[in-house]
Amino acid sequence: MINTITATKQNTEKTTDNMSNDISILSVGIDIGSTTAKIVITRNAEVIYEKYERHFSKVRNKLLEMLYDAREILENESFTVAISGSAGFGLAQSINLPFVQEVFVVGKVINALEPDTTTVIELGGEDAKIIFFDGGTDERMNGSCAGGTGAFIDQMASLLNITVDEMDKLALEHKKIYPIASRCGVFAKTDVQPLLNQGAAKSDIAASIFQAVVNQTIAGLAQGRKITGKVLFLGGPLYYCKGLQQRFKETLKLSDSQAVFPEYARYAVAFGTAIYARECADIRDFDGLCSDIEKSLNDKPIISALPPLFASEQDYEKFSQRHSKSDVPHRDISDYSGKSFLGIDCGSTTTKIVLLSENKEILYTYYSSNRGTPVEIIKEQLNEIYKLCGDRITIAGSAVTGYGEELVKNAFGVDIGVVETIAHYTAAKYFCPKVDFILDIGGQDIKCFKIKNGAIDSIMLNEACSSGCGSFIETFAKSMGYEVPDFAQQGLFAPAPVDLGSRCTVFMNSSVKQAQKDGVSVGDISAGLSISVVKNAIYKVIRATDVSELGENIIVQGGTFLNDAVLRAFERELNKNVIRPAISGLMGAYGCALISMKCTESSIITRKALENFTHTSKTAVCKGCTNHCTLTINTFEGGKKFISGNRCEKGLGSLSNAEVLPDLYEYKLNKLASYQGGSSKRGKIGLPMALGTYELLPLWYGIFTNLGFEVVLSGASTRRVYEKGQFTIPSDTACYPAKLMHGHIIKLMEEGVDAIFYPCLTYNVNEKSADNHYNCPVVAYYSELLSGNIDGLKETGFLYPYLNITSPKVLASGLRKSLCQKFGEIPAGEVKRAVKAGLEQYKNYMADIRKKGESAIEFAKKTGRRIMILAGRPYHIDSEICHGINKLATSLGFVVVSEDSICHLAKMPSVHVLNQWTYHSRLYRAAKYASQHSDVSLVQLVSFGCGVDAITTDEVRRILESNGKYYTQIKIDEITNLGAVKIRLRSLLGALEMNER
């Protein structure tokens, strides 16, 4: 590996000649990234030594070690030295060495080695960078988000239970790419896990993960700038992962000569730092430098610390004793004969199994990581159980819960499928009949529910931006070279747990990084993470302001609570003792086993059939509707099939006998699609089907067709449409509906319309029930952003006048001015008449929607159906935005109405916030309506990143809960994880049913 850079020596010399007085002096470049340390030593601008190693956060020790490794070279002469890298700043300060920003350094290297490079893409452990060299150097790096980086790839590989190397090899054999979000590891996990549970091929998942990294790099960093010309790829992940290289090349459509993956990819920053060191000419010698670093090992970290979890061994002893009391009777399976009951919890990352005797004694348990293939594991386990049972024990009942519920149920003929929440409640009741609060922290999800009057009263699940789950601790433990139990053990008696705050895991990642940088011990980090996980659960998921509001009798469970450090931190935070069942990790399975006791005979796969059991899976795309769900078709022994990934029943081919329930989302979507066409006497006007168009399309259609314009719509949103515009999105944290806008605009530009129309509307329609009638800033002014960030849009003719739609007169004059500029003179009278017609059209449209809403409700009442108000914004009916949740709801037996179709039926309730946005005021009225009718439930759809909904959600919740109704919120963005949504909706259904009983 030595001398990889010498090939380009000539270039280097040219630039370094005027940099240093004495180029024969040794130069040391040190690059300390978030996960690795790199060192390069040069003489005469030639690399004579290089080394790359993981530092496991022991930055100073590792650097010292690496210097000693290079002792032979460095010992006998003085040298210049500088440090770079995201974790190098603190170190440079404390040993007083020059520090240089790493992106800046990469620029230097490129100038020296590959001057015709137009773009550099560098991925590191937790950093991602793009440097543009054409048309003015511009350098971009990831901000507070560490998604789409090496750490992300590591995390995904460990989720698949393979090494990064294996994942890379698999990726090269892929046949299909699934959409996976990479903004944060947690999101991606929620995408990957269902794929695994559904049995998608690992090679496809591996490639999809790399694709997610590519998408993140392009969307998050390029931010609208096109990546073309010669692209140089640097950094560890891009050096090692051929699969990732392939994804980048294909996505960016680069030829072999355009995509350069150099040998020195990992060392570029260290090399550049060596160049910089020469410029600084800060002369050091080996002994002095090493002793400085040694001294700095003792630097007291300046970081806020928390009190230790356990002050003494005795404390811990007492604690352990108290918790050991919450156990269930066990019985040796070998001396039991009779009926038994099987409970399976096929969770997101682990599979749990419990076998009970007729007397509720535990005969057998199993708890293990899924390693990506739940079907195989359960097959193995059933074999094992049958072997242990012999002829003495029969399985009389079985039940399954969790992410893999349907798959397992179908594969093995399990009798009952149970919603997770109900399974857990059943189990918890066994330990504490008076339980009023259950908190379950599993591998990647947090669930908690309150119980009132023997029924589940409210359910909270962690949303897309989840934080502090078990797998986070696991990943972290692994990255620091520990197994979870050892890691937890380290934390128990740590003297000063580091305060990591309570935030999303990605951010916690960087907090931990900082702590490591400051030399905090592993134990203190371990304890700090446990405390953070707990705080997240309490303050972010449950959103409790006062811990006493959780409940009196609290049961905690889930694998994460097996970790004593987490349990202790939780009791600390609550200042209350809680019950942790000894079978904390098995509660779901235990609950299932209890539920299965109502069976008398089981349909579970027989011992014989199990011997021949086989399982294969392949993917297909459903053509049932425009959602085009990706289906995973699992085939079992004897040709039995199970299809998953579909939102509705259509893909199963059973549509014919299913009843079609009213669905206002579907109705509105179809209705809006009819507002296009017309004669093109004056020209063609394109309207993007995004954001506010979903509300005002009938108005614009009425106006434009009246004026003799043909109305062209950009059509339904799809992933492809999103990707079309992805390059032009400047702010990655904007909501998905806004990001989709870009693709729609580009689609219209391709259609060849005469003008594209999306006006700026500070004010929306005035429904006269609120304090004001604003649009949110994004809906109101997004055109300003589009105009500045989409190439060629201005030339196409982009009309975005500032209009006042509440006054026909002002609307007409504003619109006329804008149209005349583009299309020449249009008589004022004509525009006035068109505006009148347009407003009429809009009025009719709204009246129709309301009528339809009323008749849907009537239908539900007549047929005894439950009604679900899917409450969001008008643009949430876009099937790419709501991901077919409406169909999921109807498949569960709900009649689906939209907020705007029924909100006229209720008066505006008094709200405690400023009620000044038109769309949002409908939410409050819809909530009021739901709270007045026992057969109506409200589910609020919230776009991730919607700042306004931070305000509305609390208010909608208050309106519902103060009237004794459930509040269910679903956060949505580009990820499609219907599995989690399904659990929520089924839990809601389960809770409703339980309440009725």
Partner 1 sequence: MIIINKEYIKFTKKMKKDYTILIPNMLPIHFNMVIRVLESYGYKAKMLENEGHSVVESGLKYVHNDTCYPAILVIGQFIDALKSGSYDTHKVALMLFQTGGGCRASNYVSLLRKALIKAGYGYVPVVSFSLTGLEKHPGFKLTIPLLHKLMYAVTCGDLLMSLYNQCRTTETERGQSKALLDEWTEKIARGMRTVGPLRYEKIKQYYNQIVRDFDSIPRRNEKPIKVGIVGEIYVKFSSLGNNGLEQFLVDEGAQVCVPGFLDFCFYCIYNSIVDKKLYNMTKLPLFIYKFAFNFAKRKQQDMINAIKQNSNFEPMTPIDRTISLCDGYINLGVKMGEGWLLTAEMLELYDSGTKNIICTQPFGCLPNHICGKGMIRPLKERMSDINIVAVDYDAGATKVNQINRIKLMLANAKEQEIEKSDKKQPALV
Interface positions, 953-992, toward partner 1 (CB under 8 A): 953-954
Find the shortest distance in angstroms from Cβ 722 to partner 1.
17
Residues in Cβ contact with 947 at an 8 Å cutoff, skipping those fewer than 6 apart:
776
Task: Choose between 586 and 785: whose C-beta lies nearer to partner 1.
Answer: 785
Which amino acid type is present at position 600? T
Rank residues 512 and 867 by Cβ distance to partner 1 and give the closer one.
512
789 binds partner 1 (CB under 8 A): yes
**Selected range binding partner 1 among 67-75, 203-211, 318-326, 777-785, rule: CB under 8 A:** 777-785
Q: How far is the CB of 462 from partner 1 (least distance, A)?
A: 13
Q: What is the 3-state secondary structure (H, E, C) of 865-922?
A: CEEEEEECCHHHHCHHHHCCHHHHHHHCCEEEEEHHHHHHHCCCCCCCCCCCEHHHHH
Q: Does 345 sit near partner 1 (CB under 8 A)? A: no
Q: Cβ of residue 527: shortest distance to partner 1, in angstroms?
A: 17
Q: In whole angstroms, give the CA distance from residue 717 to residue 182.
A: 21
Residues 565-584 that bind partner 1 (CB under 8 A): none
CB of 711 to partner 1, least distance (A): 24
Rg (CA), the chain: 31
- Check binding of 532 to partner 1 (CB under 8 A): no
Stretch near partner 1 under the rule CB under 8 A, chosen from 208-216, 508-516, 711-719, 892-900 = 508-516
- Binding positions for partner 1, 875-914, rule CB under 8 A: 912-914
Q: 462: which 2 tokens? A: 């962690």
Smallest distance, partner 1 to C-beta of residue 735, A: 9
533 with 566: CB under 8 angstroms?
yes
Q: Is 161 exposed, middle or buried (0-12, 13-18, 19+ CB in 10 A)?
A: middle
| CB count in 10 Å sphere of residue 46 | 14
The 3 state secondary structure assigned to 41-81 is: EEECCEEEEEEEEECCCCHHHHHHHHHHHCHHHHCCCCEEE
Q: Does residue 68 belong to the site contacting partner 1 (CB under 8 A)?
A: no
Of residues 207 and 473, the one with the C-beta less far from partner 1:
473
- Pick from 261, 316, 781, 859 the residue near partner 1 by CB under 8 A: 781
Start-to-end Cα distance in the chain: 72
For the chain, the maximum distance between any two Cα atoms, rounded to a whole number of angstroms, is 96
Compute how many other C-beta atoms are within 10 angstroms of the C-beta atom of residue 844. Answer: 12
764 token code pair = 């929306």
CB of 951 to partner 1, least distance (A): 5
Is 284 near partner 1 (CB under 8 A)? no
**Contact pick of 502, 630, 634, 796 for partner 1 (by CB under 8 A):** 502
Nearer to partner 1, 282 or 854 (CB): 282
Name residue 636's beta-bridge partners. Answer: 615
**Which CB sits closer to partner 1, 454 or 777?**
777
Cα 873 from Cα 923, distance rounded (Å): 9
**413 vs 501 by CB, closer to partner 1:** 501
Cβ burial, residue 261 (10 Å; 0-12/13-18/19+): middle
Both tokens of 878, joined, read: 């876009």
Interface with partner 1 in residues 801-840 (CB under 8 A): 802, 804, 807, 809-810, 814
Q: How far apart are CA 45 and CA 11, in angstroms?
A: 10
Contacting partner 1 within 687-706 (CB under 8 A): none
Pattern 470-499, partner 1, x by CB under 8 A: -----------------------------x
Binding to partner 1 by residue 738, rule CB under 8 A?
yes
Binding-residue pattern over the window 87 to 126 for partner 1, x denoting contact by CB under 8 A? --x----------xx-xx----------------------
Contact residue for partner 1 among 258, 514, 769, 995 (CB under 8 A): 514
Closest CA to 711 of 672, 742, 737, 746: 672
Residues 215-234 that bind partner 1 (CB under 8 A): 223-225
Between 135 and 433, name the residue whose CB sits nearer to partner 1.
135
Provide the pairing of β-strand 968-972 with 936-943.
Answer: parallel
CA distance 509 to 518: 14
For residue 216, the minimal CB distance to partner 1 (Å) is: 16
Q: Which stretch, 52-60, 235-243, 604-612, 727-735, contacts partner 1 (CB under 8 A)?
A: 727-735
Asked whether position 916 contacts partner 1 by CB under 8 A, the answer is: yes
Q: Is residue 844 near partner 1 by the rule CB under 8 A?
A: no
**Distance in Å, CB of 786 to partner 1, minimum:** 9
- Strands 79-84, 46-54: pairing is unpaired
Sheet with 393-401, side-by-side order of all strands? 362-369, 350-357, 338-346, 393-401, 416-418
Q: Tell me whether residue 93 or residue 963 sits nearer to partner 1 (CB atom).
A: 93
Stretch of residues binding partner 1 (CB under 8 A), selected from 624-632, 666-674, 695-703, 944-952: 944-952
Q: What is the smallest separation between the CB atom of 813 and partner 1, expressed in angstroms?
A: 9
Beta-bridge partners for 942: 971
Q: Where are the alpha helices (DSSP H) in 325-454?
A: 374-389, 405-412, 420-431
Q: Scanning residues 299 to 328, which ones bind partner 1 (CB under 8 A)?
A: 304
Q: How many residues bind partner 1 (CB under 8 A)?
A: 75
- Residue 508 vs 699, nearer CB to partner 1: 508
Comparing CB distances to partner 1, the nearer of 5 and 146 is: 146
| Residue closer to partner 1 (CB basis): 261 or 539 | 539
Is 917 one of the binding residues for partner 1 (CB under 8 A)? yes
| Nearest approach, Cβ of residue 448 and partner 1 (Å) | 17
* Smallest gap from residue 70 Cβ to partner 1 (A): 27
The one-letter code for the residue type at 127 is D
192 token code pair:
């990957």
Considering the rule CB under 8 A, would residue 141 count as an interface residue with partner 1? yes
Q: How far is the CB of 138 from partner 1 (least distance, A)?
A: 7
The neighbouring-strand residues paired with 32 are 37
- Quote the least distance from Cβ 646 to partner 1, whole Å: 31
Residue 948 binds partner 1 (CB under 8 A): yes
Instruction: Decide: is 545 part of the binding site for partner 1 (CB under 8 A).
Output: yes
Minimum gap (Å) between residue 136 Cβ and partner 1: 4
Residue 139 touches partner 1, criterion: CB under 8 A: yes
Give CA–CA dist 698/679, Å, rounded: 16
By CB under 8 A, which span of 391-399, 598-606, 639-647, 732-740 interacts with partner 1? 732-740
Tell whether residue 30 is a contact of partner 1 (CB under 8 A). no
Q: State in angstroms the smallest separation of the CB of 642 from partner 1.
A: 38
**How many residues would you count in the chain?**
997
| Cβ atoms of 764 and 774 closer than 8 Å | yes
Return the bridge partners of 79, or none: 26, 284
* SS3 assignment, position 147: coil
Q: Which residue has the tokens 């990647």?
A: 444
* 3-state SS, residue 518: coil
- C-alpha distances (whole Å) from 844 to each of 489, 840, 858, 897 are 67, 6, 21, 18
Distance CA 939, CA 897 (A): 11
> In the structure encoding, which two tokens stand for residue 18, read together?
């005027």
Name the one range near partner 1 by CB under 8 A: 7-15, 133-141, 398-406, 880-888.
Answer: 133-141
Minimum CB–partner distance for residue 258 and partner 1 (Å): 24
**Least distance from partner 1 to the Cβ atom of residue 913, Å:** 4
Nearer CB in complex with partner 1: 329/792: 792
Q: If DSSP states are collapsed to H, E and C, what string results for 195-217?
A: HHHCCCCHHHHHHHHHHHHHHHH
